[in-house]
Amino acid sequence: MSELKHIPVLINEAVQGLAIRENGVYVDATVGFGGYTELITGQLTSGKLIGIDADRQALNLVEQRLTSQIAEGKVILKHSNFRFIEQVLAELRVISVDGIVADLGLSSMELDDVSRGFSFKEEAPLDMRFDTSSDGLTAEEIVNTYSQDDLTKLFRDLGDEPFSGRIARIIVESRKKQAIKTTTELVNLILSIVPGKFAKKSIHPATRVFQALRMEVNDEIGALNALLASSLNLLNPSGRLAIVSFHSGEDRIVKNVFREWKAQGFVNILTKKPITPSEIELGANPRSRSAKLRIIEKI
């Protein structure tokens, strides 16, 4: 898989926001193809970077890409979900760190790997697990077992889908005849009930439903809450936490937690308003359009 297929979002702004110290210890909580990891590591001398990712395939590629940094001990990669950041660091006997960065979005590699089922553009099994080595929940299980009310709530809350009720209803009606197993089957159901004037907009009518399913499969809201609950205690004084979100609900959670920490006197908020992609970045990577970066510094 080509390196060019993965374009890290707001990478310069996020890494600059961490104010890297050359002897510091940092965590890239969502390694992906290693864009953040490589940029941070390039600024370290005696410091080190601990990279975490739930996607074993992504870590395999990063191991090949950053062989020399790993051999030097500058980079340590761990296969885990960032919700377990405390356990990962404890296993490495790391008590505290100088910075944590997390990109909450789906990587371009995962989206472009047809077999994973993240994309609505190609036919594939309805999987959507970040960690395919696990026996966890899949999108196929959700669309074939969740009640109509639960599907409606899921598409509304995690997808901001205006036609959540209609889509949930047609899914339930369709699966009575035959199980829904592929991305194409699901896309066709969505297209069959979304009014034509909405289908012609720049965002594909299946986008929000696929986002909601992916977030549910991987419990992304729960993982974010766990990461936030752990991060403040793990940061050294003056340590920084930078989070890039792509979903309004995730950004709201980050914003509210950061405000609560500030009110309690634990942190300074370094981004009064979230940093968003420049016009240049949007032109180069349209998938970055909903990205928002927020940064805090521990007092």
pLDDT category, 99, cuts 50, 70, 90? very high
CATH 1.10.150.170 location in the chain: 131-217
Three-class SS of residue 217? helix
The pLDDT tens digits of the residues spanning 3-57 come to 435 568 899 999 999 999 999 999 999 998 899 999 999 999 999 999 999 988 8
Architecture per CATH, 131-217? Orthogonal Bundle (1.10)
Burial of 26 (0-12, 13-18, 19+ CB in 10 A): buried
Coil/strand/helix, residue 117: coil
Domain with CATH 3.40.50.150 in the chain: 3-109+220-298
Q: Is 65 exposed, middle or buried (0-12, 13-18, 19+ CB in 10 A)?
A: middle
Task: State pLDDT tens for residues 158-185.
Answer: 999 999 999 999 999 999 999 999 999 9
> In the numeric block, which tokens belong to residue 33?
């193809």
Residue 283 makes CB contacts below 8 A (sequence gap 6+) with none
pLDDT band at 118 (very low <50, low <70, confident <90, very high): confident
pLDDT band at 197 (very low <50, low <70, confident <90, very high): low
**Is it the case that residue 231 has pLDDT exceeding 70?**
yes
Name the CATH superfamily for 3-109+220-298: Vaccinia Virus protein VP39 (3.40.50.150)
Lowest mean pLDDT among 149-153, 187-191, 278-282: 278-282
* Overall average pLDDT of the 129-155 stretch: 93
Mean pLDDT of the chain: 92
* Percent of all residues in the chain with a pLDDT value above 70, rounded to a whole number: 93
What pLDDT, on the 0 to 100 scale, is given for residue 109?
63
Q: Where does the pLDDT of residue 112 fall: very low under 50, low under 70, confident under 90, or very high at 90 and above?
A: low
For 232-242, what is the mean pLDDT? Answer: 98
